[in-house]
Structure 1
Amino acid sequence: MEPTADGSRRFLSVLPFGMMGVVTAVDLLAGPGVGYLPLLSLGPAFASLSCGVRRTAAVGALAVALCAMLGLYDQTLGTRANSLTFASIGGVIAAGMLAAGLRERNERELADVRTVAEVAQRVLLRPMPRKVGPVQAAVRYVSAAAHARIGGDLYEVVLTPNGVRVIVGDVQGKGLDAVETAAVVLGAFREAAYDEPELNGVAGRIETALTRHLTSEQFVTAILVEIQPDESATLLNQGHPSPLLLHRAGPVEAVDPPEPAPPLGLSGLVDAPVPARSLKLEPGDRMLLYTDGVVEARDQDGAFYPLADRAERLLAADDPEAALDALVRDLTRFRGAPLDDDAAMLLLQWRASADRGAHRLS
């Protein structure tokens, strides 16, 4: 993508001079009988698309100089038509300088917004540690919003006295409202994960926080995972896509919930607590948690991305980071265009037995 953008910028930078060169050549070849001089205003007009105010003014000055020389060559200098040509070029120069100034101001404001977004990213979606207790973790986030790195998808991994606790979620909607809701969920999770002895308690704390924040029609799908040093894992799925469990020897397994449960924000619709799913892990097992932007990505023919069929790529590399990079590249090739929705992928690996005693955050 970058070479294409650089090529476009270079093209726009030389376009004003190319246009004025063509107009000059055509006027010289056509002779004094045909008036092409007003077309010299294309130079400053195109300059305003990519150049600053000073450069646009310099291109405009060149256009005026060319107009004077060609007017002298055509023997029209000082005539009423030639004076109108100078006036029209001057008007285009003034408009171009104004447009260039406004564009530069907007670009500075956009740069400031991107800087704020970078800070928000570090606060909301903190850098993921590669090792959390007995777990290795890798994460990738692809935002559907142009030039944005955060959106409505969320994730977090923390080491607590109750084990390694994980959340992956997807906020209904997009834009700044979705980011704000994601911040509420993550803030509640980071606090409750250390205090609550059970995952249902963590989910209840998040539900309480969302009740104060969301409207009655909004919700957040999420999955919470707790991994203990004794090789057991507990999953609480609240309306979220089922994770995939990948064994070193064996098929890819979808970890479906015992029964469907409403998303966070809608848990008040049911009285019974959300049932949890327990399973055993073997050293080297990997679990992929993801948001629906992954499985809802379509190719040019409208087919959905077959994640379950492609997930075996996650076992091809020893390093979870490299394995997840391979899956992201495959998703990008399959889609063939920017994603329509945010997509987050979190890959967890239960470390080998020699590492089980390392329960510190590294």
Structure 2
Amino acid sequence: MLRLALALLLLAAPAQAEAQAQDTAEAARAASGRLQEAGRMLDEAEGSTDRLSALTQTVHAYEEGLVLLRDGLRRAALREAALERQLASQEGEIGDLLGVLMTIERAPVPLLLLHPSGPVGTARAAMMGSAVTPALQERAEALRADLTEVQELRAVQDSAAATLEEGLAGAQQARAELAQAAQERTDLPRRYTEDPVATALLIAGSETLEAFAGGLAQTIDTEMATEAPDAADRRGSLPLPVQGVVLRGYGQADAAGVERPGLVIATRPQALVTLPVAATLRFRGELLDYGTVAILEPAPGVLFVLAGMAEVYGEAGEVLPEGAPLGLMGGEAGPGDAILTGLAASSGAEASETLYLEVRDRQGPTDPATWFALD
């Protein structure tokens, strides 16, 4: 009876509901499949008629797959740690539960049916035993499921480590091929040719971004007949040019108290920056304290200023199509083992790079939310 009562106390502890548990192993497997798909896309891009577009999609696929895999592995590591803590905290209870089960299993059946107090006690013990036995079985099955899940999560992490290494290598190769294809493209329409001397003089004589943007007309050498893009009807609906999180909004001060009339977007290292809409590339190069800058004109009198990239593709005067690659962020993604080591403590590769996005019209800087769907 003492063992039976103890079993009832053990079963009173609530177990984690199966409906609330996330299928972390399946999430990691799905992410691995996404990376394998990106690898196939990279192989197929070699023979694609529009290789630049195919490589752009491939880089996006790798980025998405790596993000999903890092998140899946992080969730798996956190789930495994939680299960191990749970099992460790219940070590005494588990021992008592196993003792109850072993006692029931080893005791002779006739002895289990008898009670020292006589027939009434025997009947009561039988009723209590019939009520407890299914619960004991359920508790044992839950314990077995937790142990199996720990083993499965460890196996998933071991197998995903190789996939992560292959994904990082494939993404690096896709970015290199994309950069080469972007530099070799010659079929883009042009609105004008640039006067490099005038551009250099404008850079040297400009102390602010506003002064430089206001003098961009001086950099035009020869105008072409190509029609200028006009995305006025897309205001408020454009996606951000890079996958990331907005750290600071329009006019918000940074840690040093500096306010800038643009967005600061946190991105992962080497993230691909693409054009949210067709636009004329008005300038690319180093400018003031903004680092490498690309200035786009998506509509007459409207400029998108993007700063912080390590590489920018295209030449001033070219009309770049929507979705075309504009450049790559800097930084190093790091080796796979370094990423795996920090999975439990972070969300994967940290968003260590920042892209600055400013929108200007004829009146000066304007809130990027008037053009981009920030939610």
Q: Same fold (TM over 0.5)?
A: no
Larger Rg: 2
TM-score (norm 1): 0.30
